[in-house]
A = this chain, B = another copy of it.
Amino acid sequence: MEIAFIMFEDYETLDVFGPAEIFGRLTDQYTLKFYSLEGGVITNRHRVPIMTEKLDTMRNNPEIILVPGGMGTRKEINNSRLLHKIKELAQESEYVLSVCTGSALLAKTGLLDGKEATSNKRAFSWVSSQGIKVDWDKKARWKIDGKYYTSSGVSAGMDMAFGFLADRHGIDFARKIAREIEYNWIEDKDNDDFVAE
């Protein structure tokens, strides 16, 4: 399965590279690709420069797309070209994952309307205002509704990635990968230590 990471300026570092570490280990099952509207180097306020391919040059529809969060979402929420592309890819893919405020971009496309979702607990009112028909959960570490996986803030994306692996390959498999990276996986998606007010 190909996982397409949808990159934009001022993405949140760990939103991308936490899941990238986890899926990236399984090279026989998941292939990681990084895309942006214009291609080339995409960076952020952490000064982490990642090389991306141009979205329009994508040859095959990826089975999975992942939309990260970050302060850049505040700008991209008004980028109709990016939102259109996300919507198009999301509709065609088997699974759609978002981390942190990435769910604001998904919500803005309307694809989450009537669905359960979550987001960063510290940006919850802004995110939820981007999709008033979404059933937002303030308590979840991550949320699943059909093919949509949305996670809470930053490091919750890693817990969700393990949850995704557990749903596809069984919990023992997910635990094994977590042990390999010496990560204390938070397995309970419904209860987060970090709750929105």
Secondary structure of the A contact surface, majority rule: loop
Please report the C-alpha to C-alpha distance between residue A17 and residue B21 in the assembled complex, in whole angstroms. Answer: 9
Interface residues on A, range: 35 or more
Q: Encode contact with B along A172-197: 1 for CB under 8 Å, 0 otherwise.
A: 00000001111110100000111000
Does A105 touch B at the CB level, under 8 Å? no
Q: List which A1-34 residues lie within 8 A (CB) of chain B.
A: 12-14, 16-18, 20-21, 23-25, 27, 31-34
Do B33 and A47 have beta carbons less than 8 Å apart?
Answer: yes
In the complex, the count of this chain's copies comes to 2
Do A17 and B153 have beta carbons less than 8 Å apart?
Answer: no
Residue of B nearest to A179 (CB): B194
Query: Chain A residues in contact with chain B, CB under 8 A?
Result: 12-14, 16-18, 20-21, 23-25, 27, 31-34, 41, 44-51, 120-122, 152-156, 158, 179-184, 186, 192-194
What are 17 A-B pairs with beta-carbon distances under 8 A? A13-B20, A14-B21, A17-B18, A20-B46, A21-B154, A23-B46, A24-B47, A41-B51, A49-B51, A50-B50, A50-B51, A121-B182, A153-B180, A155-B158, A155-B181, A155-B182, A182-B192
